[in-house]
């Protein structure tokens, strides 16, 4: 399909709903990494346990030559190439995964960052030191060949080295990198953070947004927008106002992407509001999960394939790939084939954008641009009004995703329901106490190894019994920011639970994981499309943040004393009495 016809196809898409294969453009132009017969044949032959392996392999020769030789091979076998010949073809024309990257030890890494001294428990302090060492293991640098011959790689060139999540994720990812950066700043590595920030800013300059990750097949989808927050954290620590000044318009450009491409109008009580959603109107199976997407589509009528694939990409853009959160309202709320991500207005996305608007207003004020500061202040005020009217539920005391098609909130539990506390996007101080009661009413404080991602068990990785580090942070810091002593004590207890889970698993396996199964004492997580991955960037970052915040109180002890909600008041009174005793 030619690029010039895509606009027409998109107009048809918007007017008529998703149609045939040709109705949507592919996620990128590469006929090797994003669409085409070669990709289809290789992925459907299932030569690799993980589809991502093939689309991460660099080419040995120019893509035109590869496509020409593949065409000859396909025709010679009437487009049914024997598996052995397909494997031989790949061996001849592709290189092993990771050839385009080299290990990199951050130049600003140092032996003993200050925050380690704040951790009183010697076992936890030693563990934090080992996590600090992991930054060296997770450091990567792109080889210069990717710049000189970009057409031979699915990796997008980055001029600065970076920290990756780990495992199968050998490139950097958007929202992962925020928690990685928080950990790096505690490790006193602002130079590494600045380089990673510059990579993201370069992507915005080139593509108008930050892609999901640094691969061409991720180009048309983003991830939860935390770039402005990354900038705020770096500038605050390094006091680098010049860097902020040089890149403020690029931050504005990224928010424009969400305004232009991910906005949706929602009406309530005669008023119309603009909020945001995840929405990726691009065609075909996801290249990195091609065979799984094709198999799933085969369970539906052919006319529904494109809609399914677009919704899967939107789910990937959300960062929650995949969750029953996106199945609600579908024909089978336990099945991935019911995914309808773009039909929901997510609480966390709008909280992140609300926070970004506040940060942008502050940035412009700091640099003396009052008109732009007021613009973002007004945008934030409008969003907060919309979130209050559309997403907030006074009776339940939390915010909920809004179902656009069915005109109602999704009242299921997710940690994202409290994201506005974390983002500071609420106006009534009493909302914190209501949210705390919501956690109690949902029985969330009875889970002793971490906050579950949902209360539904579907086999998807962003569902029960998995718990994820960034979602612990959303709830813990949301409560910890409150002036309420009770909310702060619950935040500490949740932090203690998560630290013990991570520490216990690390003690047994000498590894950090991207997610944890909290149903039976804490284990590496499972479910989803691939095996649980070790590393792990954002898990390390959140643990270091919690150890920094609560290092004088946290314990590594295996005998956990969990406080149920009704015991918290007594515990607080006891703590107050002890604090009044003479030292």
Q: Decide if pLDDT at 76 tops 70.
A: yes
pLDDT value for 557: 85
The half-sphere exposure of 563 on its side-chain side, counting CA atoms within 13 A, is 18
- Indicate the length of the chain as a whole number: 583
Encode pLDDT of 102-143 as tens digits: 999 999 999 999 999 999 999 999 999 999 999 999 999 999
Q: Decide if pLDDT at 574 tops 60.
A: no
**Of 165, 233, 111, nearest in space to 469 by CA:** 165
Greatest Cα-to-Cα distance within the chain, rounded to the nearest angstrom: 89
Does 88 qualify as catalytic in the annotation?
no
Average pLDDT over residues 454-471: 98
CA distance linking residue 317 with residue 348, whole number of Å:
13
pLDDT value for 274: 98
Helix %, strand %, coil % for the chain, to 5? 55, 10, 35
The active-site residue, picked from 293, 473, 514, 517, is 514
Question: pLDDT category, 16, cuts 50, 70, 90?
Answer: very low
**Of 565, 574, 547, nearest in space to 119 by CA:** 547
Average pLDDT over residues 227-239: 98
Average pLDDT over residues 217-242: 98
User: For the range 576-581, what are the long-range contacts, defined as Cβ-Cβ under 8 Å and sequence gap of 24 or more?
Assistant: none
Which range among 16-20, 114-118, 331-335 has the greatest average pLDDT?
114-118
Question: pLDDT category, 1, cuts 50, 70, 90?
Answer: very low
CA distance linking residue 345 with residue 358, whole number of Å:
20
Q: Decide if pLDDT at 247 tops 70.
A: yes
Q: Which residue has the higher pLDDT, 578 or 434?
A: 434
Average pLDDT over residues 250-270: 96
pLDDT value for 423: 98
Does 514 qualify as catalytic in the annotation?
yes
pLDDT value for 433: 95
pLDDT value for 576: 44
Average pLDDT over residues 563-582: 45
Q: Which residue has the higher pLDDT, 428 or 581?
A: 428
The active-site residue, picked from 182, 311, 321, 401, is 321
Question: pLDDT category, 558, cuts 50, 70, 90?
Answer: low
CA distance linking residue 211 with residue 469, whole number of Å:
22
Q: Decide if pLDDT at 442 tops 90.
A: yes
Average pLDDT over residues 396-407: 97
**Of 431, 410, 411, nearest in space to 422 by CA:** 431
- The answer to whether 513 touches 505, Cβ cutoff 8 Å, is yes
298-312, 359-373, 478-492, 550-564: least confident range: 550-564
Average pLDDT over residues 348-357: 99
User: How does the average pLDDT of the chain come out, rounded?
Assistant: 92
pLDDT value for 207: 98
Average pLDDT over residues 380-390: 98
pLDDT value for 562: 39
Q: Decide if pLDDT at 469 tops 60.
A: yes
Cα 551 to its chain centre, rounded Å, is 26
Residue 334: count of CB within 10 angstroms of its CB: 14
**What are the DSSP calls for 33-80, one per residue?**
TTSSHHHHHHHHTT-SSSTHHHHTPPBSS-HHHHHHHHHHHHHHTTT-
Average pLDDT over residues 206-216: 98
CA distance linking residue 73 with residue 82, whole number of Å:
10
pLDDT value for 486: 96
Distance (Å) of CA 145 to CA 81, 90, 199, 253: 31, 20, 17, 29
Percent of the chain with pLDDT over 70: 92
Question: pLDDT category, 269, cuts 50, 70, 90?
Answer: confident
């Amino acid at each position: 399909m030619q690029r010039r016809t895509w606009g027409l196809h998109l107009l048809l898409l918007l007017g008529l709903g998703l149609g045939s294969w040709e109705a949507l453009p592919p996620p990128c132009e590469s006929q090797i990494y994003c669409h085409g017969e070669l990709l289809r044949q290789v992925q459907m032959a299932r030569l690799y346990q993980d589809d991502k392996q093939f689309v991460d392999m660099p080419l040995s020769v120019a893509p035109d030559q590869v496509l020409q030789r593949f065409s000859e091979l396909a025709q010679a076998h009437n487009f049914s190439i024997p598996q052995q010949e397909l494997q031989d073809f790949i061996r001849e024309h592709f290189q092993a995964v990771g050839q385009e990257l080299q290990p990199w030890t951050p130049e600003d890494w140092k032996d003993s960052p200050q925050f380690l001294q704040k951790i009183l428990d010697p076992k936890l302090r030693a563990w934090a030191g080992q996590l600090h060492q992991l930054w060296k293991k997770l450091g990567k640098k792109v080889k210069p060949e990717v710049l000189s011959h970009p057409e031979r790689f699915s990796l997008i060139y980055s001029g600065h080295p970076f920290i990756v999540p780990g495992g199968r994720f050998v490139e950097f990812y958007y929202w992962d990198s925020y928690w990685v950066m928080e950990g790096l700043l505690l490790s006193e590595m602002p130079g590494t953070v600045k380089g990673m920030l510059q990579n993201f800013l370069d992507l915005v300059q080139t593509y108008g947004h930050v892609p999901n990750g640094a691969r061409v097949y991720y180009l048309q989808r983003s991830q939860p927008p935390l770039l402005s927050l990354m900038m705020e954290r770096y500038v605050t620590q390094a006091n680098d106002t010049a860097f902020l000044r040089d890149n403020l318009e690029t931050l504005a450009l990224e928010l424009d992407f969400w305004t232009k491409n991910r906005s949706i109008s929602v009406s309530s009580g005669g008023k119309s509001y603009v909020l945001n959603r995840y929405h990726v109107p691009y065609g075909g199976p996801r290249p990195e999960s091609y065979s799984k997407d094709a198999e799933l589509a085969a369970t539906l009528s052919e006319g529904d394939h494109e809609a399914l694939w677009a919704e899967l990409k939107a789910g990937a853009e959300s960062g929650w790939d995949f969750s029953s959160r996106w199945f609600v309202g579908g024909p089978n709320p336990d099945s991935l084939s019911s995914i309808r991500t773009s039909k929901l207005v997510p609480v966390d996305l709008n909280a992140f954008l609300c926070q970004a608007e506040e940060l942008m207003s502050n940035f412009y004020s700091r640099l003396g641009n009052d008109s732009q500061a007021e613009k973002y202040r007004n945008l934030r005020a409008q969003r907060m009004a919309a979130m209050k009217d559309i997403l907030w539920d006074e009776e339940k005391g939390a915010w909920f995703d809004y179902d656009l098609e069915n005109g109602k909130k999704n009242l299921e539990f997710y940690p994202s329901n409290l994201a506005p506390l974390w983002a500071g996007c609420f106006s009534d101080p009493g909302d914190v106490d209501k949210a705390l009661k919501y956690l109690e009413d949902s029985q969330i404080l009875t889970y002793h190894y971490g906050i579950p991602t949902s209360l539904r068990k579907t086999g998807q990785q962003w569902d029960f019994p998995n718990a994820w580090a960034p979602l612990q942070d959303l709830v813990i810091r949301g409560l910890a920011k409150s002036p309420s002593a009770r909310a702060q004590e619950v935040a500490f207890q949740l932090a203690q639970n998560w630290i013990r889970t991570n520490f216990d698993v690390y003690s047994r396996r000498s590894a950090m994981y991207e997610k944890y199964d909290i149903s039976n004492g804490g284990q590496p997580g499972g479910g989803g499309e691939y095996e649980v991955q070790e590393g792990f960037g954002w898990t390390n970052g959140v643990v270091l943040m919690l150890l920094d915040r609560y290092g004088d109180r946290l314990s590594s002890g295996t005998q956990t004393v969990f406080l149920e909600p009704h015991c918290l008041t007594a515990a607080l009174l006891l703590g107050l009495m002890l604090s009044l005793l003479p030292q």
